[in-house]
A = this chain, B = another copy of it.
Amino acid sequence: MTATRIGTGSGGPVAGTALRPRADDALAARLARSAAAPDGSWISTDDFADWLDGRRRAHHFKVERIPFAELDGWSFAEDTGNLVHRSGRFFSVEGLSVTVGEGPFRHWEQPIIRQPEVGILGLLAKEIDGVLHFLMQAKMEPGNRNLLQLSPTVQATRSNYTKVHKGADVKYLEYFTDPDRGRVAFDVLQSEHGSWFYRKANRNMLVEALDEVPHDPDFCWLTLGQIGELLRRDNVINMDSRTIVACFPMDGAEPGALLPDAAVQSWVTVERSRHDVSVERVPLAGIDGWERDEHSLGRPDGRFFKVVAVAVEAGSREVPGWSQPLLEPTGPAVAAFVVRRIGGVPHLLVSARAEAGFLDTIELGPTVQCDPGNWRDVQAPPFLDTVLAAAPERVLYEALHSEEGGRFLHAEIRYLFVEADETQAPLDPPPGFQWLTPGQLNDLAQHAHYVNVQARTLLACLNAGAARLDDVAAEGPDDAGAGQLDDEAAAGRAA
């Protein structure tokens, strides 16, 4: 891994002026080696469940629903009705008025979480016995199923590291704020849930420690292969960990793709341009279709989500106890990539999703991403039936994972990879869909605002080897050109 220290002059004039390779091929090889390691030097995968149970026993956690009136420090503002903290920081729940140009829902109002500051999701890496290990934290978040899941080394809002809530220091934070403490492998902004957050983005960072890392009992070192094994289990690897692993610059080593990269970019541009999405921040008070009682702000038709309040008791967070609002989705959702082998290479059917909270009109999401309950009276989204009705042998991966447990209550999504054929998922897909290779999606995840958070969870499953596409069937006649350039492309290159 080459050094990526920034803005430091400590290398002296000669070291400072030498060239470095633009791409770090060695890192991709080291990540592949770690992904291929099913067991680690610090803890064996078989012992992990016991270790996590031990951490659960070591702390006291309790989360209970409370009426809004019992929130400490939070209240509905008199003028706007927005749900805000008295410090003016953390986050707020405000209103959003949305108008879109297509789909069964053309205009609506909704509550949305606004948190304009950019946080750090940081994972610390270290080579142990020649294999990269990653420092994961057993961390309680009030909205998590099972409360305790594996977070990255650091989850720090700007409030965290400027100490707004006057709690304990965030452990290991210095590796992500002091460029001399480690080597930054990557640091890239990524969006979070566009339907629930207004233009929220966090820095996703991987930093390699250069010296001994002090140990803390709530933390464990895992190989990427171990993270992959745990991603096959429900609700162990938290969302912040998954989104960082999605950004790992893996070497896809794919011989080609259905679409050249420039055509993928062109498709993204067309999708960004063709959607009319008009979004306006409005006061939370009186938004259309929503009603508030003592315990929740929700919809009489039961769709989408509710805003609720919880009180939290905990022994391992920055502060010993607190209360806060959480957004509680109505039902478990589904996020799935439909997969086909094209020209010998597995491809993912990617959708261009316009979510109201995105900074730019669309981001790339899974083939299917919805709570089926929300669509009960309207035409279901494309490919939902294909995913829900897939025969077991077509389901290449399936697990339940929790979304951000600091903001969402029991927001579980069933993540799947589902194999399909030409009748179910044609090579010439409907508008808003396109076939990309995992390598192409992984490359786009090196940049901000391309790959949405649900697609990143699925990408993390590929990067860590939790989901394997090796078994996707070849499709006979479709594979005639496997590994070859087609005549047209070959002619174009020769011209």
Contact = CB atoms under 8 A, between A and B. Distances in A.
Q: How many copies are assembled? A: 2
Contacts of A5: 263
Interface stretch (A219-227, A451-459, A478-486): A478-486
**Which interface class (under 10, 10 to 19, 20 to 34, 35 or more) fits A?**
35 or more
Contacts of A217: none
A14 B260 contact: no
Contacts of A477: 13-14
B488 A6 contact: no
Given A3-B489, A446-B265, A440 B19 contact: no
A428 B187 contact: no
A360 interface: yes
Interface stretch (A22-30, A106-114, A373-381): A22-30
A272 B17 contact: no
A184 interface: yes
A453 to B, nearest CB: 17
Given A3-B492, A127-B495, A19 B184 contact: no
Contact of A22 (B257, B267, B431): B257
Interface stretch (A80-88, A310-318, A342-350): A342-350
Contact of A257 (B20, B249, B447, B487): B20
Nearest to A9: B428
A6 B360 contact: no
A354 to B, nearest CB: 14
Most buried by B among A1, A22, A494: A22
Contacts of A258: 16-17, 19-20
A359 interface: yes
Contact of A24 (B262, B344, B440, B481): B262
B2 A344 contact: no
Contacts of A189: 269, 272-273
Given A1-B492, A9-B428, 20 more contacts: A4-B260, A6-B263, A14-B480, A15-B488, A17-B258, A17-B478, A19-B257, A19-B343, A19-B484, A19-B485, A20-B256, A20-B258, A20-B485, A20-B486, A184-B262, A185-B262, A189-B273, A203-B273, A360-B448, A360-B449
7 contacts: A1-B493, A4-B263, A6-B266, A14-B478, A19-B486, A186-B265, A189-B273
